[in-house]
Amino acid sequence: MKKIMMIAAMMVAAVTANAQNEVGQITLQPKVGLNIAKITGGGNTRAGLVAGLEAEYGIAENFGVTVGALYSMQGTKRNDDDSGVKTSVKFNIDYLNIPILAQYYVIPGLAVKAGVQLGFVVRNKAKLDTNITGLVGFSDEGSINEFYDAFKQVPGLDIPEDAKLQKFDFSIPVGLSYEYESFVLDARYNIGVSKVIKGYNDRNSVFQLTLGYKFAL
């Protein structure tokens, strides 16, 4: 019985040693995954790719700081049906996000994390599909700012004169990650703080699930 207990203790110690942070160590983590994104204020979610690299610095055995660069496909889709006129508007907005997170290891391998994220628009596209009952529908697409400029010319639409896509986004990411044999499963929620479109109060809302591989420099 004592031998079994000793072997079990040695196995736990070995797993703990492999999963703990090393003070002063820098690790890199390429990662790829899925975004479920939307813009608050109405509309449906957009599924998109997220991929990039994060680096971690071990401050203590149970505490580290990470910084990353992630390509993130975000946006939203809205459908309306008003008196036989069906419209669908898609906003596809891709960001280069730079998350800076503090993470605390509750147990070896399992970390809770929170921080700030800076986002920069690198691509955007809007698409409008309209179908009028009994008539042929039509579609149009272009940049989001081109759409807002066109909408401002339509009588009856209450579009703010300064409405345009903001090039910078600020959000607060919170989440959990679990590391097993250098593979890291990360789930986080990015809470939008800044406005996506000037003149409106809508913000980004993104659930993100990624799988990464962690290695030391």
- The domain that contains 42 carries what CATH number? 2.40.160.20
With respect to residue 197, please indicate whether it lies within any of the assigned structural domains: yes
| Residues 127-173: tens digit of each pLDDT | 887 765 544 455 678 898 988 888 788 777 778 888 999 999 999 99
Is residue 154 a part of any domain in this protein?
yes
Which tokens is 36 given?
Answer: 């479920």
Q: Is 68 helix (H, G, I), strand (E, B) or coil?
A: strand
Instruction: Average the pLDDT over each of 52-56, 92-96, 114-118, 140-144 and give the range with the smallest value.
Output: 140-144
pLDDT, mean of residues 202-213: 97
How many other C-beta atoms can be found within 10 angstroms of the C-beta atom of residue 196?
Answer: 24
Contact 130, 137 (CB under 8 A): yes
Q: Is residue 119 part of a domain?
A: yes
The answer to whether position 18 is within a domain reads no
80 inside domain = yes
Q: How far apart are CA 175 and CA 115, in angstroms?
A: 10
pLDDT the model gives residue 139:
65
- The amino acid sitting at 168 is F
* Domain span at 41: 25-216
Higher pLDDT, residue 136 or 119: 119
Q: Mind listing the pLDDT tens digit for each residue in 64-103?
A: 999 999 999 999 988 776 655 677 888 999 999 999 999 9
What are the angstrom distances between the C-alpha of 119 and each of 96, 148, 150?
6, 22, 26
Q: How far is CA 155 from CA 15, 78, 91, 152, in A?
A: 67, 21, 22, 8
Structural domain includes residue 17:
no
> Would 138 be classed as within a structural domain?
yes
- Residue 101 located in a structural domain: yes
The rounded mean pLDDT for the chain is: 86
Percent of the chain with pLDDT over 70: 84
Rounded to two decimals, what is the model's pTM?
0.84
CA distance linking residue 56 with residue 182, whole number of Å = 13
SS3 155: coil
Number of domains making up the chain: 1
Q: End-to-end alpha-carbon separation of the chain, Å? A: 41
CA angle 96, 97, 102 (to 5 degrees): 160
CB 195 within 8 Å of CB 144: no
pLDDT in the model for residue 168: 97
**If you compute the radius of gyration of the chain from its CA atoms, what whole number of angstroms results?**
23
Residue 20 confidence (pLDDT) above 70:
no
Q: What is the pLDDT of residue 130?
A: 72
Confidence (pLDDT) at 77: 87
